[in-house]
Amino acid sequence: MFNKRVKIRDAVQMAAGREEITVMGWVRTFRNNQFIALNDGSSNDQLQIVLELGKFDDGLLKKITTGASVKATGLLLESPGKGQKVELKASALEILGESDPEKFPLQPKKHSLEFLREIAHLRFRTNTFGAVFRLRHGLAFATHQFFQERGFIYLHTPVITATDAEGAGEMFKVTTLPFDSTPRTESGDVNFREDFFGRATNLTVSGQLEGELAAMGLGEIYTFGPTFRAENSNTARHLAEFWMIEPEMAFYDLEDNMDLAEAFVRYLIHYSLKNNRADLEFLDQRLAEEEKQKLQAERNDQGLIEKLESVANQNFQRISYTEAIDILRDSSSYKKKKFKYDVAWGIDLQSEHERYLVEKHFKKPVIVTGYPKEIKAFYMRQQEDGKTVAAMDILAPGIGEIVGGSQREERLDKLEARMREMDIPLEQMWWYLDTRRFGTVPHSGFGLGFERMVQFVSGMSNIRDVIPFPRTPKNAEF
């Protein structure tokens, strides 16, 4: 068996031993022809491999370069050097894969995140991305654990859909029709009857509508899968392909929905604090360094772990949209015309408004409820006032909207009326409306953008740095 190795995460915790162990990994640095700093991705710990002078031939030593992969066997000894408890005194060393130091793009120095994005295939070998992707994994695992503990069913909704009614964003078309001799109808439109599915299809923007169907039989479900939006917004919090977690629950009203969403966000943070502590400590340090580069006035006085602890341990602020508008209009930022976008009842809150509420006014996450129906989707439950819907968004410091959800309209007549107002073809949605025809119940759900959550917990400022291979306008490398 080849892979009889100890992971470095475990090796650095072991006591100096009597038995030889084998480790494998990638060389981070090699000093004085004697000391290899080896990392294998199991954590950011590096095991020092000590090569006795004269024991290994020059040809081999030359091949120990940054980026090369090696297999080392030896005894763990107490390390006289500082920074590590033990080191491995190599009795055997094998080069698994060489790495030409002239060509290997990762040098043992600090690279910019922008540069690392261009070599996203190699950035897994850096401390920052090691920490980010272990954290991301932890959050995905915690998601399943959270819903498992509450008896939710993990539902796989389709990636290819024919629904274009959601209005969540521009969609990517899915087709096998040829581009040169596209079949046309008599009126000159593209004839989708000849397409693969016999109709126009797209990549999904959300699994919600199908999620609702399942909740109307299974009770409580959640989806966790990729979603796609062809929105041409080149921001630090939008991707064309991102992962979303969407629970849908029968017998939940808006308040139940908020309680679940808040519990979920806080659970994820608690999980990371407990299970990804070392990586969070690394990212905390990293962020502190980054903050030092900023002007005093723009610095964040709260560290990453401090921020996470405060968010996980206190209740989120809950306010209505109308209250939010009042607070914004009363703010000095508004009076001094510091907002780029105007504030009036009826607007969609812009990111600058969301951040004011969260970072300046309340200094904690805020749940805003009761948005004007004009700026929200057709399926949200209409409230008594005739103007607002039972929507709720969770706004987080540094990120803005992290969760968007609502109580769904369960009354067939109200739903149909709203769909007509919004020109949504009722016939095409017959299956969705059937749930309101047969045994309709009050129900709710929300969507949490997974990358936004990873951004929040990791403190990474650009969403491109929390997904392995980001898809954004004009970029689909790797």
Task: Summarize as ranges the residues that interact with ligand ATP (CB under 6 A).
Answer: 168-169, 229, 231, 238-239, 242, 244, 401-404, 447, 449, 451-452
Give me the least distance between CB of 166 and ligand ATP, in Å please: 8
Give me the least distance between CB of 56 and ligand ATP, in Å please: 49
Our CB check for ligand ATP shows the closer of 71 and 238 to be 238
Task: Report the alpha-carbon distance of residue 448 to residue 446 in Å, rounded.
Answer: 7
Contact between residue 161 and residue 223 where contact means Cβ atoms under 8 Å apart: no
Give me the least distance between CB of 205 and ligand ATP, in Å please: 7
Residue 109: Cβ-neighbour burial (10 angstroms; 0-12, 13-18, 19+): exposed
Give me the least distance between CB of 167 and ligand ATP, in Å please: 9
- Residue 222: helix, strand or coil by DSSP? strand
Give me the least distance between CB of 478 and ligand ATP, in Å please: 18
Our CB check for ligand ATP shows the closer of 27 and 239 to be 239
Buried b (16+ CB within 10 A) or exposed e, 76-101: beebeeeeeebbbbbeebebeeebee
Shortest Cβ contact with ligand ATP: which residue?
449
Task: Report the alpha-carbon distance of residue 266 to residue 317 in Å, rounded.
Answer: 13
Q: Which of 37, 45, 34, 38 lies closest to 9 in space, CA to CA?
A: 45
Give me the least distance between CB of 270 and ligand ATP, in Å please: 20
Report the 10 Å Cβ neighbour count for 475: 13
Contact between residue 138 and residue 276 where contact means Cβ atoms under 8 Å apart: yes
CA distances from 5 to 23, 31, 77 (A): 5, 24, 17
Our CB check for ligand ATP shows the closer of 23 and 394 to be 394
Our CB check for ligand ATP shows the closer of 88 and 395 to be 395
Contact between residue 9 and residue 39 where contact means Cβ atoms under 8 Å apart: no
Our CB check for ligand ATP shows the closer of 138 and 404 to be 404
Our CB check for ligand ATP shows the closer of 289 and 342 to be 342
